[in-house]
Amino acid sequence: MPPAEFAAIAADPIAILCEAVKNDSTNHNAFGLRASLRGNCGDYKNALTDINTAIRINPEKSYFYDKACILAKGFHDAKGAKASIREAFKKGFCDIKKIKSDKDLAILQNDSEFIEMTKVKYSWQYKPGVFYSEIFVKTSLVLG
């Protein structure tokens, strides 16, 4: 049977992640998860600290997206949120449907710059052939 203090920690997922980062200060996954949990609990100040730490350790696309959500919902910082979304795009994040429907990003939904930056641009090319023809469609995001 585990000690009583383990049961207290196990009842609180944030406490588990606090132990994880205490034991390994380079565990970007623990910082990212803790940021997400803290944001969901309304602790945006500490969520932002955690997500910035996760980005410093491992600047992956999902962390920039999470930072945009924290900035938009917790701090009403549209400019900062858009900058984080641009960074997520540069890192390869491309789930436009998620970005446009995420309630955490609600303050951006009517922002003209946000609307333009989340438009999917496309071009196409048609090459007629004797036996078959080829059509190429290329999509991209404008990272303006």
Q: What is the CATH number of the domain that holds 108?
A: 1.25.40.10
Its domain, for residue 43, covers 4-118
pTM as predicted = 0.80
What is the radius of gyration, based on Cα positions, of the chain? Answer: 20
Residue at 43 is within a domain: yes
Residue at 136 is within a domain: no
Cβ(114)–Cβ(108) below 8 Å: yes
Q: Give the count of domains, the chain.
A: 1
- Mean pLDDT calculated for residue range 25-29: 96
Confidence of residue 141 (pLDDT cuts 50, 70, 90): low
Residue at 25 is within a domain: yes
Residue at 11 is within a domain: yes
Res 133: pLDDT: 80
